[in-house]
Amino acid sequence: MQSSKLEFKPINLERDQNLCVQFRADSFICSFGSAARFYKEDGSGSEKYLQWLRQRMTQIPNSCVHVWKQEQIIGQIEMMRCQHDSSVGYVNLFYLTPEFRGQGFGQQLDQHASDFFKRLGCHSARLNVSPTNRVAMRFYLKHGWIDLGQREDDLEVHYLEKKF
């Protein structure tokens, strides 16, 4: 089941901010069974997320991209450098819409992120994953990510690392 080539284009936040929020909220549902953690108790989550995303895109151009299959946006990647070590990349979000999962497209997202970080001079990348999101956990381990264990500051997620 070889998937077709995807395109990775910088997010057009003015046009697609609702889609960004929808994708991010769904990633929380996949990871934690609910988007409550994303939206926050006071409901400010989506607004804060869009501010964060805009800032991230300004700091590192092309770090936040939509994944296109022909004329359709089917996913999103958000990347940055680790705050404590700029030689390490950090993936905030790997996301594919449900109908495009399990078809080999995830490998292209992973490769895009690896290439992006290598261009920045990073020797590795990290991400968080909820161990309850078994599909994601299996994907990452299959594609060379190493489980570093639970995060000390958030016991619901594990740190994963991939060396280049």
pLDDT in tens, 69-126: 999 999 999 999 998 899 999 999 999 999 999 999 999 999 999 999 999 999 999 9
- Looking at the 3D structure of the chain, how many domains does it have? 1
CATH number at residue 118: 3.40.630.30
Q: Quote the domain boundaries for residue 71.
A: 7-163
Distances from the Cα of 141 to the Cα of 21, 81, 130, 146, angstroms? 27, 21, 13, 6
Q: Assess if residue 144 is contained within a domain.
A: yes
Q: Assess if residue 2 is contained within a domain.
A: no
What's the DSSP call for residue 122?
-
State how far the Cα of 73 lies from the Cα of 82, in Å rounded to an integer.
27
Would you say residue 133 has pLDDT above 70? yes
Q: Assess if residue 69 is contained within a domain.
A: yes
Q: Assess if residue 25 is contained within a domain.
A: yes
29-70 confidence digits (pLDDT tens): 999 999 999 999 888 999 999 999 999 999 999 999 999 999
Note the pLDDT of residue 2: 52
CB 95 within 8 A of CB 23: yes
- Mean residue pLDDT across the chain: 94
User: Which of these, 78, 92, 94, 76, lies nearest to 139 by C-alpha position?
Assistant: 94
Q: Assess if residue 1 is contained within a domain.
A: no
pTM confidence score: 0.93
